[in-house]
Amino acid sequence: MRGLQWFNALSAGATPVEGLPDSLKVADGVLGEQAVRFIAVVTDANNRFPRARNGEVGLLEGWGLAKAVDEAIEKGDKRPLIAIVDVPSQAYGRREEALGIHQALAAAADSYARARLAGHPVIALLVGKAMSGAFLAHGYQANRLIALRDPGVMVHAMGKASAARVTLRSVEELEALAASVPPMAYDIDSYASLGLLWETLSVSQIEQPTPDDVVRVSDCLVHAIKDVAQPDLKGRLGATNRAASSHVRQLLREQW
Amino acid sequence: MTDLLNKHSFVELGARQRAKALLDAGTYRELIDPFQRVMSPWLSRQGVVPQADDGVVIAKGSIAGLPVVIAAIEGNFQGGSLGEVGGAKIAGALELAAEDNRSGIPTRAVLLLETGGVRLQEANLGLAAIADIHAAIVDLRQYQPVVGVVAGSVGCFGGMSIAAGLCSYLVVTREARLGLNGPQVIEQEAGLEEYDSRDRPFIWSLTGGEQRFNSNLADRYVADDVAQIQQTVSALLQQGAPHEQRSRRADFYLARLAELDATVQIEPATVRALYQGECP
């Protein structure tokens, strides 16, 4: 519910965008003095696809996000896009695989990336889970990633149970290992050490933001928008815990 | 019989041989080759032996005389999973190809995708690298085609299936599988009744190359034959950008999904019928 709470709080007074799946909340509003589009994926107990009823990013959500972002691009005003991220996972199901959920998520990533290249500042605000394929489709193409500082805010490639099964470990072994290897950890501080976040913020009530929380986060979003100077993702490189990513790029350039 | 003897399997080749097989003779040049030993900084501390190329081969050369960079994933190393180094090799190569185009050099890209997606031992750095790869494909695609090939035998899963969905063109064989979630993970998350990961015919009927091609989720369906794959990739590279990028057809797919009866479990034939017509 965090995603919906933050969407409602930040987009108070904004104009809802219609014609999208019910699992998407999209509205055109104002941040500072700037027209922006807010986008969130939320739970929808009546979702036609049963495996996508708890806020997962599935077929309708992937294609719907693409549509919501494309419409913003078509406006031609390069308005910033604010992706409010609280996505527990992609949808896992037979219908999803059969109908090409990978293509739906590609559409969402495609639209966000094109928006960024077209000069829209794209900002992702992490208020809950930002998991795997769901995050790749909704948030990870942003110029700037901002995370609220809270144990419930986490970025990861796979849930613990599945990760344990695939790597042939027990959940306990996985947790012990994750604690000592920063890219494997589930907490937001370890994630921050990879250099991928532009900012982390503390708020007083993450589940139900207070007016002060909303002001604080809005201010941070405004600063992030102003900070965007380049359309690429180079701002994420440079952390010690991500040194190999820079080293590889340097070698490729030398040998190119 | 002559036909059989003349065929050379592409699937049986490793990543390096595949890249060589596609490039014009004598033009293959590998970047960050294994002798430079740029390895994963994360695997050994977890008791996994790293590999000198981290399972990714980056090669420059030409195809039909056109400048090309190939990124080939070695499915035999850690299931073709992408960690920090391998992911950065692919993302960095695509970024430089886009830069080439901005300075007037028309470098194209071919991705040979045999991958389970993120390497879980490097979880968040793999995921971040895959986001970079997505960004770079969308950037490069503005200038030149990016051709993805899923030949088999690993298939293409996880975040890299999204990368496949971003390619200008996607080539598959009968041995290929393409899907977001690996069968084991779906079974773990959704239960055996939803998805039986041990039922191979079932998995292939939904996510196999032939089904993907017949559902318009892939652009070319080819035999497991070096010459045919080489010719197909070469033709696509010369073709320029597609008429319409599949990942940009939200209205079409939303309309088709709206027509589907989602209350019943799905069959492969339903997908083929639903997505037919108006080939992207």
- Check A94 against B265: CB less than 8 A apart: yes
- DSSP-assigned letter for residue B272: H
Q: Would you state the pLDDT for residue B151?
A: 97
Of B124, B141, B263, B264, which to mutate for an interface test with A (greatest number of A Cβ within 10 Å)? Answer: B124
* Residue among A135, A236, A245 nearest A195 (CA): A236
Q: Mean pLDDT throughout B169-178?
A: 98
Least confident of B8-12, B66-70, B240-244: B240-244
Per CATH, domain B2-248 is 3.90.226.10:
yes
CB of B143 within 8 Å of a chain A CB? The answer is no
Extents of the domains making up chain B: 2-248
- Check A163 against B123: CB less than 8 A apart: yes
Q: How confident is the model over B42-52, as pLDDT tens digits?
A: 999 888 999 99
- Check A233 against B132: CB less than 8 A apart: yes
Could you report how far apart the first and last alpha carbons of chain A are, in Å? 48
SS3 B222: strand
Burial annotation B80-108 (CB, 10 A radius, 16+ → b, else e) = bbbbbbbbbbbbbbbbbbbebbeeeeebb
Beta strands in chain B (DSSP E): 29-31, 56-63, 66-73, 108-112, 146-150, 169-173, 220-222
Q: Mean pLDDT throughout B89-115?
A: 98
Nearest by CB to residue B248, choosing from A98, A110, A183, is A110
- Check B118 against A132: CB less than 8 A apart: yes
CB of B190 within 8 Å of a chain A CB? The answer is yes
Report angle CA B252, B256, B262 to the nearest 5 degrees.
Answer: 150
CA distances from B152 to A53, B79, B112 (A): 33, 12, 10
3-class SS letters over A146-195: EEECCCCCEEECCCHHHHHHHCCCCHHHHHHHHHHCHHHCCCHHHHHCCC
Query: Which residues, numbered 21 to 80 in chain B, qualify as contacts with chain A under a Cβ-Cβ cut-off of 8 Å?
Result: 31-32, 36, 38, 40-42, 45-46, 58, 60
Q: Would you state the pLDDT for residue B4?
A: 60
User: A183 with B84: CB under 8 angstroms?
Assistant: yes
Mean pLDDT in consecutive groups of 10 residues from the start of chain A, 256 residues: 97 97 98 96 98 98 98 97 97 97 98 98 98 98 98 89 80 85 91 97 97 98 96 96 98 98
Half-sphere exposure of A15 (CA within 13 A, CB side): 6
User: Which percentage of chain B shows pLDDT scores above 90?
Assistant: 92
Residue of B nearest to A106 (CA): B162
Contacts B251 to A, Cβ<8 Å: 67
- Check B266 against A110: CB less than 8 A apart: no
Extents of the domains making up chain A: 2-255
Q: Mean pLDDT throughout B16-29?
A: 98
pTM above 0.90, yes or no: yes
Please determine, for the modelled complex, whether the ipTM score is greater than 0.95: yes
Distance of residue B238 Cα from the nearest chain A Cα, in angstroms: 22
Q: Would you state the pLDDT for residue B278?
A: 55
Half-sphere exposure of A194 (CA within 13 A, CB side): 25
Nearest by CB to residue B190, choosing from A66, A93, A244, is A93
Q: Would you state the pLDDT for residue A100?
A: 98
CATH architecture type of domain A2-255? Alpha-Beta Complex (3.90)
| Mean pLDDT computed over every residue of chain B | 95
CB of B158 within 8 Å of a chain A CB? The answer is yes
- Over 60: is that where the pLDDT of B2 sits? no
Written as one string, the DSSP assignment of B16-63 is: HHHHHHHSPTT--EEES-GGG----SSSGGGT----TTTTEEEEEEEE
Contacts A94 to B, Cβ<8 Å: 186, 190, 194-195, 206, 265-266
CA distances from A238 to A196, B82, B159, B194 (A): 9, 20, 23, 43
